[in-house]
Structures are given as C-alpha cells and as structure tokens.
Amino acid sequence: MRKLIYLTVAILTILLSFTVHAQNVHMDGRASYYSNNLHGRIMANGQRYNRDSLTCAHRTLPFGTRLRVTNPINGQQVIVKVTDRGPYVRGRVIDLSYGAARRLGTLRSGVAMVQIEILPDDLPVPYNSPAVEELPKMEYGGAGVCYEYIPEWEKVNTDPKPKRLPRKVNTSTRKNNQTQKRAVSQRSNRHNAQQANRRGNSSQQNNQQQKKQSGSSWSNFFDKVKNGVTSLFD
C-alpha cells in the first residue's frame, strides 16, 4: 500500500514539474501580424477576429493559452491569447493581431524577431469578443460576390417613351472649322484676284499689239499709194 502511495506521489510530482516547466517555456522566433482585410473572419476557435483584440495564432499551443511576447529591439511587451492556428509560413512561429503588433512596434517591419513566454492560464487578457459578434457574417476566401456598375445606356428602359439625351456640341471643333473655312475663302479670293489681274494685263498687251499692227498696215498702205502716184508722174 505504501509503495502504491509513493508511486502516486512520484507520478504527481513529475506531472507537476512538467506543467510548471511547460508554463515557463521560452521561445524565440519570427512573428508576423494579421492583415486588416481579415477583420471579422471566423478563426479556428469559432470566434470572429477583432483587429483591436490582443490575440494570436499558433500551430500547436491549445486555444486560450496566454503568451507574453517581447520585442527585444525596443523592449515592448504584450500579453496575448491563442485563438487561431498558424502561421503556415516557414520561419515564423506566431501570428499576432494588429493591436498586439501595434503595441510591440512591429507594424512597419511586418516580420520581426520576438521572445515568447508561456504564462499561467488564469492571467486575464483584454479580448474584445462582444463587439465582434455584431459584425456581419462573412467567410475569408468565400464566394466572389461583387457589385457590377451598369452604365445608364445599358440599363433596361421601362419607360415606353424613349429619352432624348442632350446633344453635346464641341465648340472648339466648330471654331476650328470656321477658321479653316475663312482661311480657304481668303486664299481662293486672292487666287481669283491674281488671275483677274493677269487676264487684264494680257488683254491690254493684246490691244496694244493689235493697235501696232493696224497702224503699221495703214502706213504700208499709204506708202504703196504714194509710190504708185510718184511712178505715174515719172
């Protein structure tokens, strides 16, 4: 009977030592944080993620485990509770909520080296679960439901009378056309005036030549008459 009692006490002592040792485990590794797009997503424990709650995701630790996370660069600490599974990226040991990463000062870097310590389960952690229940139900990576914008000209018209859309007139194009027409008319007027001047000059030259020819013909005629008369008297 005594042996059985001693054996039971030894087993309880061993289990208690393992529990105490497990509660004081220190881990070092890289930590990332949730994206803001995951706000309201259902986590692995069935609750919805709240970006302002001090929670985290771990691959193996039980849900509800309290962890003290320390940033060795600036010495900032935060106590978080395991509520989700992950991260599933090689080299990362914990995935923090947006609020926890903001307290640690790791938002700018995105991924940072941290020190993790497991704490007793009776340590309270600020967790905003009631406010999250009012969020609309949505699943991360669900069906791609979207709202399509339909222009006015593609909508089905239920009115029997068709609508007359106002006509938009481009005044700049009209002004350009008027300016071009004026330039063309001015060029044509100049061309016509030049042709008229050329025709007037050519007609004057022809009249002068005709006058010269007629004068020379009359002079020839008088010369012939004069020569004939002189030949008669000779």
Instruction: Decide which of 178 and 218 is more confident.
Output: 178
58-67, 151-160, 179-188, 195-204: which is most confident:
58-67
CB 48 within 8 A of CB 138: no
In eight-state DSSP terms, residue 31 is E
- Between CA 50 and CA 38 the distance in angstroms is 9
pLDDT tens digit string along 19-28? 444 445 788 9
pLDDT band at 32 (very low <50, low <70, confident <90, very high): very high
pLDDT tens digit string along 35-92? 888 999 999 999 999 999 999 999 999 999 999 999 999 999 999 999 999 999 999 9
Domains of the chain by residue range: 24-122
pLDDT band at 157 (very low <50, low <70, confident <90, very high): low
Query: Residue 188 corresponds to which amino acid?
Result: S
pLDDT the model gives residue 8: 73
Q: Per-residue pLDDT for 198 more than 60?
A: yes
Q: Which fold has domain 24-122?
A: Barwin-like endoglucanases (2.40.40)
In eight-state DSSP terms, residue 131 is G
Report pTM. 0.46
For residue 92, what is the enclosing H or E element? strand 92-96
Q: Per-residue pLDDT for 142 more than 70?
A: no
Q: Whole-number mean pLDDT of the chain?
A: 75
pLDDT the model gives residue 93: 94
CB 96 within 8 A of CB 110: no
Average pLDDT over residues 188-209: 75
